Structure 1
Amino acid sequence: MDLSLVALFLGLGMLAALATGLWVAVALFGVALAAMVLLVSAPTGAVLATTVWGASNSWDLTALPMFIWMGEILFRSKLSEDMFAGLAPWMRNLPGRLLHVNILGCGIFAAVSGSSAATTATIGKMSLPELVRRGYDERMAIGTLAGSGTLGLLIPPSIILIVYGAATEQSIARLFIAGVLPGAMLCALFMGYVVIWALLNPSKMPEKEPPVPFIERIKATRRLFPVIGLIAGVIGSIYAGLASPTEAAAIGVVLSLALSWSSGTLTRPNFIDALMGATRTSCMIAFILAGAAFMTVAMGFTGIPRELAGWIGSLGLSPIELLAALTLFFIVLGCFLDGISVVVLTTSVILPMVEQAGLDLIWFGIYLVLVVEMSQITPPVGFNLFVLQGMTGRNIFTVARMALPFFLLMIVAVALIVAVPGLALWLPQTMMSH
C-alpha cells in the first residue's frame, strides 16, 4: 500500500478516536495496534509488551511523579500568600505596580511546580481577588495571570521538559538549564508590556498607595526566604552537579513537606489530597507516554517518519521555513490537545526532519515548549483558560481575548530564540563544560 494512503488512514483514525472523546493514550494504542495488525508482519503482542515495558522502565521518568507531588503539596500551602506579601512592596514604584506580582509570582512558583495549570491556580487564587479589590483593571489582571501561568511549562523543573527528554533521550539536566534564560526573557517581555500599558493607560490604574519604608520592604522580603530556599535546594542541586533531576525531585518533596508543615498546612486531608492528585496526574502521563512509545514503534515499522522526512527534505525548505511551518502546525494542534499530548504525539514524526535540518535537539525542546505554551491560552482546549474560567466565571473566549497580548508576546519570544539560539544553548554549554 502507498505510504501516503497509510499515513492518511492512521491520521484519520487518530482524529476520529480523539473526536469521540476517547482518552489520548487509548487512541494512541488503538491506532498503533491497527497499524501493526493490518500493515506490518512483526509479532504485535511481543512488540507491544517490550515497547510498553521499555517506555515505563526509565530512571529519568522517576522525577516526574516526585515533581508533580511537590507541586501538589505547595498548591495546598500558604506559598502564594507569602510570595504576594514579599513581592508587593517592591513593585509599587514600577508602572503597572502590583500587576507585576502576577508575573514574578508565576515565575517563582513555576520554579517549584513544573505545571502550568498549578501555577495559574495557585497564584490566581491569591492575587486575583486582591488586585480586583484594590481597583486594578480586571482585563489586565486576568491577562497577566493567563500569560504568566504558562511559565510553569518552561522554567525548570518543567514536567513537559521531562516528558520531552524521556521521549527523545536527551539530558533532562541540560534541558532544565536551557529553559532558564528563555523563561527569564519571557518574564521580561511580559513585564515590559505591562509597563508600557500602564504608562499609556493611567486612567485604568488605581490611585497610588502610600510608599512602603525601606525597612518594611526588607521585613516583607523575609517571607520569600522559604521559597527561595526551596528553589536553591531543588534547582541548585542539579546545576551544581550534586544531584540528578530524580534525586533533586526527592529533595523537593522533602523540602515542600517541611515548608507545608512549618506553615501549618500539612494536615492529613491535605497530604492525602496532594498524594492522590500526584498519583492521578502521574498515571495519566505515564499511560500517554506508553501509548506514544508504541505508536512511535508502529510508525517506524510502517516507514512513515522516514518517508515524511524524505518528502520534507525534497521540498528544499530552509530551517527557518521548516520552523515557521512547524510553529503553525503546533499552534493549531494545541487548540485541541494539551501540551504533553502534543509533544508525545508529534515527537516520533517530527524528530527525523528536525535532525535532517541540523537543529540542536536541546534547543528544539525549548522551542517546542515555548510553542506549546501558547496552546495553554488558546481556545477551545487551553488549560489555563479553563482554570481562569473556573476562578472568574468569565466565558472561556472572553478570557482568551484578555490573554491575547501575551500570546503575541510568546510569538515574539519564539522569534527571538530562533534568531538567537544562544538564548537556549549558551547556559547548558557553559555549565556542562565545567
Structure 2
Amino acid sequence: MDALQLVEIAGLILVAMLLLLAGGLWIGLALLACGWLTMQFVSGGIPIGSVLATNAWSNSASWTLAALPLFVWMGEILFRTKLSEELFRGLAPWLGWLPGRLMHVNVIGCGVFGSISGSSAATTAMVAKIALPELKKRGYDEMVSLGSLAGAGTLGILIPPSITMVVYAVAANVSIIQIFLAGFLPSLIVMGLYSGYIAVWSLLHPEKMPPKPPKMSFREKLKESANLIPVTLLIILVFATLLSGVASATECAAWGVAGSLAIAAWSRNLTARAFYDSIMGAMRLTTMIMLILTGAGFMSIAMGYTGIPNALATWVDGLNLSPYALIAVLLVMYILLGTALDGLSMIVLTTVVVLPMVQQAGFDLVWFGIFLVLVVEMAEVSPPVGFNLFVLQTMSGRDSLTVAKASLPFFFLLVVTVAIITVFPDIVMLLPRLAFPN
C-alpha cells in the first residue's frame, strides 16, 4: 500500500473508534471491532480468528501481568477495610499548609506505588481506588483529582523498575540497569511539575477548594500520623523485597496482598463481608482491564500488519532533519501513534527504524529510552486509546471525554518534561555515568 492509502486507513480507523466509543460500546469491544476493521485492509488472507486467539492467550498468560490483579486486590483491601481512610487521616495534618492539600496524595501515592508495581495501569487502579472516594468525600474538585491521577499513574512506567524500560532495553540492546538509573531524576521532575500545577491551580481557584482543616499542634499531628504506620510498613515491606531481589514484581504484589490482609486483620477491619467485596471488586476491575488489553493488543497487531507505524517512521527518516528537529518530529509521530497503539507496541513496532536515525543524530540510546518512556506516558493519557483514561472512566463513572479533558494539563506537563531533558540531557545521563564511568 502507498502512503496515501495508509493515511486513509488510519483516518478511517480513528473515526470508527470515536464513533463506537461515543455510541457507548464497551471500550474493549470497540478496540476489538477496530482491530477487525483494520485487518480487512490487510492482504494475504491472514486468519483473523487465529490472530485474535493467539493475542488473547499471550496477553492473559503473561507472568508479569499477574501482578495487575494482585495489586488491584491490594488496593481493594485497603479501600474496603477503611485502611485508606487512616492513610488520609495520617497525611492530612502535614499537607494542610501546602496549596492543593490532599490532592498531592495522588502524586505521592502514584510515585510510591509506581516504584513497586512497574505498571501504569496497576498504579492508576490501586491509587484511584483509595484516593478518589476520599477526595470526593472531602470536597475536592473532581476534574483535578481525575487529571492528577491519570497523569501521576503514568509514573508506574517511569520510576524503576518498569516493564516498559525492560522492553526498550531489550529492543535497543542497552543496559537495563542504566535505563533504570536514568529514569530516577526525570521522574522527580514529573512529580515536581504535577505538584506545582496542583498548587498553582488551587491558588487560582480558592473557591473550588474545601475549607481548611482546623489547626493542630505538633503532638496532635504525630498522634494522627500513627495511622500512617500500618500502610507505611506495608509499602516498605513490598519495596524492600523488590529492591533486595528476594521477589519479582508479581511476587511483591502477592506480599502486598498478604500484608494488607494481615494489617486489616490486626486492626479488626477484616470482616467476611469486606473480604468478599474486595475479591469481587478486584475481579470486576481486572476483568475489565484484561478485556481492554486484549482489544488493544489485537488492534496493535492489526496496525502492524498494515505497516502504518513502520511507514511513518521511514517517512520521518527520509526528511533528513537536524537533531532537535528530529526529536520534535519523533515526539509528534509518537503522540499520533499513541492515539491508536499501546506503549509497548509503539516501542516494538518502531525501534528497528527509529534507533539508527537517533544514533546517527548523536543521541545516546539510554537518553532516548527515557524520552520514549515519557512519550509512552503521553500515550497512556491520550484519547481514544489512553489506557489510564479507560481505568479512571470505569472507576469514576465519568465518560472518557471528561477524563481526557481533566488529564490534558498533565499531558502538556509531560511535553514540558521532554523539552527539559532534551535541552539538558545530563539530567538523564548523570546517574548512569556515575554508576558506569566508562
TM range (shorter): 0.7 to 0.9
Secondary structure, aligned partner of 1:274: helix
Report the counterpart of residue 85 of structure 1 in structure 2.
89
User: How far apart are 1:90 and its partner, in Å?
Assistant: 0.8
**Letter of the structure 2 residue corresponding to residue 4 of structure 1:** A
Report the counterpart of residue 318 of structure 1 in structure 2.
322
- From 220, 224, 228, give the equivalent of 1:220: 224
Distance in 2 (alpha carbons) for counterparts of 1:212 and 1:157: 36
**Letter of the structure 2 residue corresponding to residue 250 of structure 1:** E
- Post-superposition Cα deviations, 1:85-139, rounded to whole Å, max 9, x if no partner, equal 2211111222343343343344334445532354334311112221x1xxx6x3x
Secondary structure, aligned partner of 1:37: coil
Distance in 1 (alpha carbons) for counterparts of 2:145 and 2:386: 15
- From 105, 108, 111, give the equivalent of 1:104: 108
Distance in 2 (alpha carbons) for counterparts of 1:225 and 1:411: 36
Q: 1:251 to 1:142 in 2, by over 3 A?
A: same
- From 408, 415, 427, give the equivalent of 1:411: 415
Q: 1:393 to 1:68 in 2, by over 3 A?
A: closer
Secondary structure, aligned partner of 1:122: helix
Report the counterpart of residue 128 of structure 2 in structure 1.
120
Distance in 1 (alpha carbons) for counterparts of 2:9 and 2:90: 53
Distance in 2 (alpha carbons) for counterparts of 1:155 and 1:64: 14
Secondary structure, aligned partner of 1:257: helix
- Post-superposition Cα deviations, 1:42-101, rounded to whole Å, max 9, x if no partner, equal xx67xx78x958x93999x41222234212331342353233122111112223433433
Distance in 2 (alpha carbons) for counterparts of 1:28 and 1:83: 42
Report the counterpart of residue 44 of structure 2 in structure 1.
37
Distance in 2 (alpha carbons) for counterparts of 1:207 and 1:11: 49
The alignment-based identity, stated in percent, is 31
Tell me the C-alpha RMSD between the 2 structures.
4.6
- Post-superposition Cα deviations, 1:324-369, rounded to whole Å, max 9, x if no partner, equal 22333444555x55xx635425741355124421255554454344
Do the aligned residues in 1 keep the contact of 2:160 with 2:181 (CA within 8 Å)? no
**Letter of the structure 1 residue corresponding to residue 131 of structure 2:** I
- Post-superposition Cα deviations, 1:158-198, rounded to whole Å, max 9, x if no partner, equal 89952574477357776555444333222211222333445
Distance in 2 (alpha carbons) for counterparts of 1:345 and 1:156: 14
Report the counterpart of residue 194 of structure 2 in structure 1.
190
Do the aligned residues in 1 keep the contact of 2:165 with 2:180 (CA within 8 Å)? no
Q: TM-score, normalising length from structure 2?
A: 0.72
Report the counterpart of residue 253 of structure 2 in structure 1.
252
**Letter of the structure 2 residue corresponding to residue 357 of structure 1:** V
- From 359, 375, 395, give the equivalent of 1:371: 375
**Letter of the structure 1 residue corresponding to residue 93 of structure 2:** P
Distance in 2 (alpha carbons) for counterparts of 1:307 and 1:399: 31
Q: Does 1:152 align with 2:153?
A: yes
Distance in 2 (alpha carbons) for counterparts of 1:101 and 1:432: 35
Distance in 2 (alpha carbons) for counterparts of 1:426 and 1:380: 36
Secondary structure, aligned partner of 1:323: helix
User: How far apart are 1:307 and its partner, in Å?
Assistant: 6.2
**Letter of the structure 1 residue corresponding to residue 278 of structure 2:** N
User: How far apart are 1:402 and its partner, in Å?
Assistant: 5.2
Report the counterpart of residue 31 of structure 2 in structure 1.
24
**Letter of the structure 1 residue corresponding to residue 163 of structure 2:** I
Secondary structure, aligned partner of 2:78: coil
Do the aligned residues in 2 keep the contact of 1:68 with 1:159 (CA within 8 Å)? no
Distance in 1 (alpha carbons) for counterparts of 2:408 and 2:15: 30
Q: TM-score, normalising length from structure 1?
A: 0.72
Q: 1:145 to 1:177 in 2, by over 3 A?
A: farther
User: How far apart are 1:396 and its partner, in Å?
Assistant: 6.3
Distance in 1 (alpha carbons) for counterparts of 2:137 and 2:331: 35
